[in-house]
Structure 1
Amino acid sequence: MNKIILNPLVSVIIPTLNRAHTLPRAINSILDQTYTNWELIIIDNYSSDNTDEIVSTFKDNRINYLKNPIRHLSISRNIGIRASKGLYIALLDSDDWWLPTKLEFSIKELNKGYQFIYHDLFRIYPQPKLFNFLFFKKLKTRSLKKDVFLDLFLNSNAINVSSVVFTRVLFNKVNGFQEITFLRNCEDYDCWLRMALQTNKFKRIKECLGNYEMALDSMSNDKLRIIAFEYLLSTYIKYLPSYLGREPGHIYSSLAISYMRVNNFKKALLYSRKCIFSSSNLLPKVKSISVVIIVLIKFLFRQFFIK
């Protein structure tokens, strides 16, 4: 029988690159935690701003500052986790921050035997408050069904990185985050899928225990997204039971959209068709139907207006 440690050490992992303006907020949110048995590992990808100076202003001996010359999120997270000592691992991005009871509530659930904890985050938009009412206030998750892997793979990623706390044992079982460049858009989703193949002991806390700052100027690279989702598809579809009769429509619709954006209309239509006929979820179907309509409009426009 496993011995329960009532006050276990939690290792908080923050990778950062040129976030001197937001990092203090993240660090202070850890210092303000009601649960105090933690260590903080900051992994800096050799920022060109004054991150060094900012970190040096915090005199708490629980804070550790490492540098990683390779600018890859998965590598930085793995370095931080492997340098840490905690029984539990908590992830926080350097532009996000937690509410004071985040660790307290998470450790309470982990001590019940769960191996992976997550929760909703408040969305924070970097524009005047006057316009915030136009946007959703929460970055919502969902409670995953008993077969966590099937739910995640068939119904999309339901887990926000800056909400996650998991056991070191589970991290070691999957050998951490995959350090593959083309997975940079979904390295977290890939890790959750591999963890879900190991255990169903995932727990969603209903309370919203953190803040997520939206990056309105972020852009995805469709070519990398295509490679990443094709990889996820080929890697994990073999774990679907043959009797299920369902496939990951959200991946098909994402591939259809990305292929359309790079003007590969044949593949866009192929994945749209797969989604429409194999997904049980309405939203991916709607997205795929929209792709079909846009592709047909583009085709007709080229036929009749471009000589």
Structure 2
Amino acid sequence: MPINQPAAPRVSIVMPVYNVERYVAEAIDSVLAQTFHDWELLVIDDGGSDRSIDIAAEYCDPRIRIIAQRNRGLAGARNTGIAHARGDYIALLDSDDRWLPEKLALHVIHLDAAPNVDVSYSASRFIDGAGNALRQTQTPRLHDITPQLILCRNPVGNGSAAVIRRSALDLIAFVHPDEPDRTCWFDESFRQSEDIELWVRLAVQAQACFDGIAPELTEYRIVAGGLSANIARQFESWERMIAKTASYAPEFVGRHGDRARAYQLRYLARRSVQLGDGSFALSLVAQALKASVRPLVEEPRKTLVTLGAALVARLVDADRFSRLASRWTGGRAVA
């Protein structure tokens, strides 16, 4: 090791930054507040046009590094961060989210104590654009996680919840198809569904072990707004993920794809209800049940509530129902 080269940290935190000047200081402050101190924070400048990077540059902590790249999107920024990371564990933090102070300490304890675990994740709480707590939380299944559960229900939940063993990530690394000198872990052709695509690939190709810890350690920000067209694009991206998975695991998708599709369509129906688009939500519920009745059998209450809310949404003014739906979901439609 060169004489002046600092020792590698235990945890490398990868934070893509793109036009989030309103939130980025909160994200960085939540890292600085961690009770576990052996980390590096890689702030990836993804070519935004606001003051986000200027704000990040105001921090003088030597553990914070800013790395600039041309705009590549979230997946590309994460790849750049992982390529520069020196830690045994890779933690992902989106720059509009926050962590509770004990987040890293508890995940490091978890991963150190269970060397078979490759992805440690936690429950999350939701916050709004102003940072206020919403009523809903993400309380996923924590143990006995199978690849089919990841495909159908995505227990990790959001991109800021996971801390990943670097050695597991490297098992699924690949060369960028257009840039032979660039190593990828996330698929940069995805601008949505990049998280679930990576989780499924880790579980199916690398047989990675996923295991959760119970505390709500991530604060996942929900910003109001959206269009039904965005929901359609989200489903198209999810279908691309299914098609990619089928290319290397056709039997796996053949067994579990319809159930996964039904749950995804139900989730998107709840998002449509939140936006007040009852007709679109009803269409999505119908498509979900046509794909598979498993959500109705396995979670009848949530499925029937989604159906009922979609029916009501058709009868109420869209703006008024959007406000009602926000209270119904705590600001978030949950799968």
- The equivalent residue for 2:192 is 185
Instruction: Find the aligned partners of 1:89 and 1:206 in 2 and give their Cα distance.
Output: 20
Match of 1:233 among 236, 242, 250: 242
- The equivalent residue for 2:11 is 10
Instruction: Find the aligned partners of 1:195 and 1:62 in 2 and give their Cα distance.
Output: 29
Match of 1:273 among 290, 296, 307: 290
Q: How far did 1:141 drift?
A: 2.3
Instruction: Find the aligned partners of 2:64 and 2:30 in 1 and give their Cα distance.
Output: 13
Instruction: Find the aligned partners of 1:206 and 1:266 in 2 and give their Cα distance.
Output: 35
Question: What code does the residue aligned with 1:233 have?
Answer: I
Q: Kindly tell me the number of residue pairs found equivalent between the two proteins.
A: 283
Higher mean Cα deviation, 167-176 or 266-275?
266-275
Q: How far did 1:170 drift?
A: 1.4
Are 1:225 and 1:258, in contact at CA under 8 Å, matched by a contact in 2? no
For residues 104-125 of structure 1, give each alpha carbon's deviation from its aligned partner in whole angstroms, at most 9, with x where no partner exists: 1111111121211111122112
Instruction: Find the aligned partners of 2:266 and 2:124 in 1 and give their Cα distance.
Output: 25
Q: How far did 1:54 drift?
A: 1.3
- Match of 1:169, SS state, is helix
How big is the alpha-carbon RMSD for the aligned residues of Structure 1 and Structure 2? 3.6
Map residues 124-135 of structure 1 onto 2, 5 A cutoff: 124-126=127-129, 135=134
Larger Rg: 1
- The equivalent residue for 1:95 is 96
- Match of 2:223, SS state, is coil
- The equivalent residue for 1:301 is none
TM-score, normalised relative to structure 1 = 0.77
Query: Does residue 215 of the first structure (1) align with residue 259 of the second (2)?
Result: no
Q: How far did 1:70 drift?
A: 1.7
For residues 140-191 of structure 1, give each alpha carbon's deviation from its aligned partner in whole angstroms, at most 9, with x where no partner exists: 32224342x11112334542211110011111112211111xx322110111
Are 2:159 and 2:195, in contact at CA under 8 Å, matched by a contact in 1? yes
Instruction: Find the aligned partners of 2:268 and 2:215 in 1 and give their Cα distance.
Output: 33
Query: Does residue 250 of the first structure (1) align with residue 263 of the second (2)?
Result: yes
Are 1:268 and 1:291, in contact at CA under 8 Å, matched by a contact in 2? no
- The equivalent residue for 2:125 is 122
Instruction: Find the aligned partners of 2:223 and 2:192 in 1 and give their Cα distance.
Output: 14
Change (3 A) 1:66 1:247: same
Query: Does residue 205 of the first structure (1) align with residue 213 of the second (2)?
Result: yes
- The equivalent residue for 1:300 is none
Change (3 A) 1:116 1:252: same
- Aligned-residue identity in percent: 25
Instruction: Find the aligned partners of 1:262 and 1:231 in 2 and give their Cα distance.
Output: 25
Are 1:123 and 1:212, in contact at CA under 8 Å, matched by a contact in 2? yes
TM-score, normalised relative to structure 2 = 0.71
Instruction: Find the aligned partners of 1:121 and 1:23 in 2 and give their Cα distance.
Output: 19
- Match of 2:160, SS state, is helix
Instruction: Find the aligned partners of 1:207 and 1:70 in 2 and give their Cα distance.
Output: 35
Instruction: Find the aligned partners of 1:89 and 1:70 in 2 and give their Cα distance.
Output: 22
Instruction: Find the aligned partners of 1:122 and 1:256 in 2 and give their Cα distance.
Output: 22
